[in-house]
Amino acid sequence: MRSNGYLLLVEDEPVVQANNKKILERRGYAVKQAFTLDEARKTIVEEAPAAIIMDILLPDGSGLALLGELRRTMNTPVLMLTAMGTKNDIIRGLEAGGDDYLTKPYELPVFLMRVEALMRRASLIPDALAAGPIRIDVAASKAYLDGEDMLLQQKELSLLQQFVQHPGKIMSAPYLYEKIWGQKLAGDDNALKVAISKLRAKLQDSGYTISSSRGEGYFFEET
């Protein structure tokens, strides 16, 4: 499915919907609205959006359920916009495949900054990436090695995409963590190390690996 450039707002509160639609249209964005998961699904099937701004608590279910469905077939950038703001809520939203997470109430300049970043991400996502026998189908959120599905988890896929897009570039742990997990690295980087270790194992016999430079970060190179 190809994007036609519009923003989809999935939100059941009429006042929030109306205000955000007005604000975004004044900024020049084309906007479509959905007040339920069912409406959102129908809109997405009819014409894929460039990006989605989505609440979690909706009348007919959780926005996380829809996000999970999307991530099986699409890599459309998604901003979760919700009153659910605990640390665990944010982790669940990002682990489910959300690109960003903003809690209500929020300040207008912050909201617009997040939307602009989301749309930049949408315009920069290519249809496919490749390195030797590795091919990433970005739209389908799948990676293949010699035509075989690598069966990557979402974080592994996002990491591989970063590395394939920037071969040879050293990327620090804080940079990668913020890119993939959507938040600043606080404390140890064990989650990143585990994901990279798993990805390295799945890259065996590909002719490529993820190397590390002590004190600097990680980079993608041919073996």
Nearest CA to 54 among 74, 46, 65? Answer: 65
CATH homologous superfamily of 7-124: Response regulator (3.40.50.2300)
Segment 118-170, tens digit of pLDDT: 887 777 566 678 999 999 987 677 899 999 999 998 889 989 988 998 899 99
Task: Mark the ranges of the chain whose per-residue pLDDT is less than 70.
Answer: 1-4, 124-127, 139
Cα–Cα distance for residue pair 55/79, rounded to 1 Å? 9
With CA atoms as reference, report the closest residue to 99 among 37, 183, 191, 157: 183
Residue 19, pLDDT score: 92
The pLDDT value recorded for residue 72 is 78
Closest CA to 77 of 8, 142, 20, 174: 8
pLDDT in the model for residue 147: 94
- CATH number of the 128-222 domain: 1.10.10.10
pLDDT at residue 206, rounded to an integer: 95
Could you state, in order of their start, the residue ranges of all structural domains in the chain? Answer: 7-124, 128-222
pTM (predicted TM-score): 0.56
Q: What is the pLDDT of residue 3?
A: 41
Closest among 208, 216, 181, 183 to 195, alpha carbons compared: 181
Q: 100-103 and 78-82: which strand pairing?
A: parallel
- The C-alpha angle with vertex 171 and arms to 167 and 176, in degrees rounded to 5, equals 110
Non-local CB neighbours of 94 within 8 Å, separated by 6+ positions: 101, 181, 182, 183
